[in-house]
């Protein structure tokens, strides 16, 4: 994309970055709020709560990265974090998967407000991150 086109898209890309970061922040907030309840069944090990804490940390880091950097790589990271979380919540709602190695079975065939809020925020952030990559975030400088 030319410099002129990037300059024209700059306000759009800044707005996009803010909305993506907000979506990832909502994702992180919900996961932090729910983590303790999902860890109860695994008090000394790798439980759902541990996975929720890891997801929250990844979402915060991705939100900061895309907000501060705005590169194609930052949009890619945001998309991977958001869309993987979206896929996980949808799959854990509709598919009864067994525990896989240290990852516990997370099947929960119901929707409640926090779960739906997180899914919507993850989906929106993920799709917008893909849009940001297409519209042309700053290229990472080559060495």
Question: Using 50, 70 and 90 to split pLDDT, how confident is the model at 89?
Answer: very high
Q: Is the pLDDT of residue 33 over 60?
A: yes
pTM of the full predicted structure? 0.84
What is the spatial distance between Cα 125 and Cα 18, in angstroms, rounded to a whole number? 10
Sign of the torsion angle spanned by Cα atoms 19, 106, 42, 45: negative
> What's the confidence (pLDDT) of residue 143?
41
- The CA distance from 13 to 132, in Å, is 7
Cα separation, 115 vs 101, whole angstroms: 25
């Amino acid at each position: 994309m030319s410099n002129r086109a990037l300059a024209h898209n700059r306000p759009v890309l800044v707005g996009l970055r803010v909305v993506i970061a907000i979506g990832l922040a909502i994702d992180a907030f919900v996961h932090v709020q729910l983590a303790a309840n999902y860890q109860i069944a695994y008090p000394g090990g790798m439980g759902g709560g541990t996975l929720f804490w890891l997801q929250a940390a990844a979402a915060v880091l991705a939100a900061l990265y895309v907000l501060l950097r705005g590169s194609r790589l930052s949009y890619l990271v945001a998309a991977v974090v958001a869309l993987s979380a979206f896929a996980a919540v949808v799959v854990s709602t509709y598919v009864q998967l067994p525990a896989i190695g240290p990852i516990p079975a997370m099947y929960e065939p119901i929707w409640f407000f926090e779960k739906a809020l997180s899914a919507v925020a993850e989906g929106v952030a993920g799709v917008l991150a893909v849009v940001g990559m297409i519209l042309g975030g700053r290229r990472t400088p080559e060495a």
